[in-house]
Amino acid sequence: MEKLIRFNLNGKETEVTIDPTLTLLWVLRDQFGLTGTKYGCGIGVCGACTILVDDNAVRSCTYQVSDVMDRKVVTIEGLASNGELHPVQKAFIKKDALQCGYCTPGMIMNATSLLLSNPEPTRQEVIDAMQENLCRCGAHIRIIEAIQLAGQDMKKGK
């Protein structure tokens, strides 16, 4: 029943022997202690559990752990490098683009994926990309600004 799953997690080659059908979200949280990735809906419609798999934003609540075999997984904990926050994280702080903060990791991961494919998105492009991420506190207007700011900062090499 159990299977050896190998993947790259936040820059490190990782392996775990586990029931391969378990949900990736819970494996990340419970086996690896990466609790920055949140449960919100369990059906992939709120975005709180968003992570990067091979640089694409995916919903970890809809993935089985075996789906990431030999792939590259980045969670919110893997975004900063050597203690320095990623420009998207910095921009969320600068724009005060959060309240309760529970949706924030998913927002940041989704935005990071957007900026990898489209470094300078327009407001509308940000909205289109973020449409499936839910925030209940109503931080949307600041999140849009933060993502555009992050794009500009990344271009300037900040």
Partner 1 sequence: MKKRSKNPELATTKSRLDLKRRDFFTLLGGGVVVYLSSRNPSELLALPLIQRREVPEDFNAFLTIYEDGTVICHVGKIEMGQGPITSLPQQVADELDVSIESIKMVMGDTATCSYDAGTWGSLTTREYSHYLRAACAEARAVLIQLAAEHLKISPDNAKVKDGVIFDASNPEKKISYGWLTKGERIERSMDEKPKVKDHTQFYYVGQSLLHADSRLKVSGEAKYTADIPMEGRVYAKVLRPPSHHVELKTVDYSEAEKITGAQVVRDGNLIAVLHKFPDVAERALGTIKAEYTVDENKVDDHSIFNHLLTATGDTREREKAGDLEAGEAQADLIVESEFHDGYKAHAPIEPHAAMAKWEGEKVTVWASCQSPFGAQDQIAQELEMALEDVRVISPFVGGGFGGKIYHPQVMEVVKIARLVNLPVLLAYTREEEFFMDFFRSAAVIQIRSGITEKGLISLWDYKHYFFEARGSDTIYNVPNKLTTSYVARRGSPVQPLPTGAWRAPGANSNTFARESHIDIMAAKADIDPVEFRLRNLVDEKMIAVIEALKAKFGYTPAKGPSGRGIGMACGTDAGTWVAVMVEVKVDIETGNVQAIKAVVSQDMGMCVNPQGSIIQAEGCVTMGMGYALSEDIEFKGGNVISSNFDNYQLPLFSWTPEVIDTVILDRMDEPPQGGGEPAIICMGGALANAIFDACGARLYQMPMTPERVLAGIKLAKG
Of 79-98, which residues contact partner 1 (CB under 8 A)? 79-80, 85, 89-90, 92-94, 96, 98
Q: How far is the CB of 66 from partner 1 (least distance, A)?
A: 13
Contact region for partner 1 (CB under 8 A) — 66-74, 112-120, 127-135, 150-158?
A: 127-135
Q: Which residues pair with 16 in a beta bridge?
A: 5
DSSP letter, residue 49: T
**Residue 11: count of CB within 10 angstroms of its CB:** 11
Q: How far is the CB of 147 from partner 1 (least distance, A)?
A: 10
Task: Figure out which of the listed residues 19, 54, 55, 120 binds partner 1, where binding follows CB under 8 A.
Answer: 19
Distance CA 120, CA 154 (A): 9
> Is 18 in a helix, a strand, or coil?
strand
Question: Which residues contact residue 7 at a Cβ distance below 8 angstroms, ignoring those fewer than 6 apart?
Answer: 14, 15, 68, 69, 70, 71, 72, 73
User: Does 49 contact partner 1 by CB under 8 A?
Assistant: no
Residues contributing to the site for partner 1 (CB under 8 A) = 19, 21-23, 26, 29-30, 33-43, 45-46, 48, 75-77, 79-80, 85, 89-90, 92-94, 96, 98-105, 108, 123, 126-128, 130-131, 133-144
